Structure 1
């Protein structure tokens, strides 16, 4: 009886897994180790214009449009052989010849003895994301043309930031999304200028700009408001993500300072954060002011702690 019950449970679980795979919007394909197709779900057929009847008529590696890909099909083969998995953006040629940008995740399928028996291919259509990125890139180029970029750092300046930020506010309201505003101030800018000169001060500003670019996503808006003050509007994010963001930023700064040990003044910053909710009536100016206020409070508290640490008993 127990064996029958266990078998029935296993069959039920298999049905649930199949139902989940068939209902997902991700395009899923399973192949054996020789590249022969053994399974494709409905979304795969819909996205690339194939059906289960075409299973023997195509090889998924041949569908990759090598001329449009950063990684060739040979590179994917090598990566899969040595690492057992692969993640990256690819362009896939559908049955009708259309090139579809996708994010591909694939991994080996193991049996109970951990022997690889096949490969799981998961394609996510990123056509709309690519369109949005292209529109953003086009907008940024237009902003450069009308001098909305900070000449020293290459970031948006105040005017450029407000243009992009207003666009993001409208998008957040349409999509009912949250955002975060970071106000960043270099703590030791005056010391760098006074001790090493303005040339080194400019270099420090450029280096901090590079750190911010490496920390945040392309979809986030980074700007230098002026002097040693920077802002970042983090799209589709709220206070639950602030610790991860600050940890990532601090790690980038620590790595920079380790590489620049000969510098008399390592980069140090203070950061204040405000949150934008799509139901909020806060303007960009108000978001910046709120984040600036929190940054100032953090900086003052830090000074008090230092003073208390070194004060005589």
Structure 2
């Protein structure tokens, strides 16, 4: 089916006059008549009927008009989006860990938009119930252009670029035996039940490695995926936790203890799919993030 014929059909359906439609389309009337005849022949039904000097849609034409307009609208929208992307504008799909959503990501996006005023740039944000494994899976499926997450080893298809740091701490309820301390060694946590992050979280790999270093593993009461839920359970006495030093833990009824040993910082990375095609707007944003990270190597998320 000829795309031009679809556009001719929609124009004639609205104008209901061959001569005026041909003038609007900048084609000859015989060309328009031939296009409509070809379309009707291909479909096997009449789309128009004569009404004096005008034409009107048949019942088949009315039904086809609805579908034709929807198809052309979707096509025009898609073409417009691609043309914007080719000019360094358009939409960027970003997935990120929720812990980065209170400060790091919004601050980064705001600065990028401020430096690119006048351009049509939209961000599609994905952070609800998103953990590192899901972000990397989404990158491989090309659902996301860029992810901000932890680094997982043995991911040869993913490029990881460090962009921010976060200290790890131990959080305990204020009436806990450890709450009297001002700092803590990981060995001191072993006699207490702990809440740890679910497998698949980038932080779980880090915490498991810390316990491997001291040659022991805690008694686990719950495995939870999200930072704010971990903090909430600790605040209500379900266990203690090794957690990132993020704003929410300072707003809850918790004692925050700096982790002295094993010493560790949680690093966050910009993750992208290697060797994948990215439109110019994504490449521009990626380079912007790299420059921001280079200029703020000690940037912390709190």
TM-score when normalising by structure 2 = 0.24
TM-score when normalising by structure 1 = 0.24
Greater C-alpha Rg: 2
Higher relative contact order (CA 8 A, sep 6+): 2
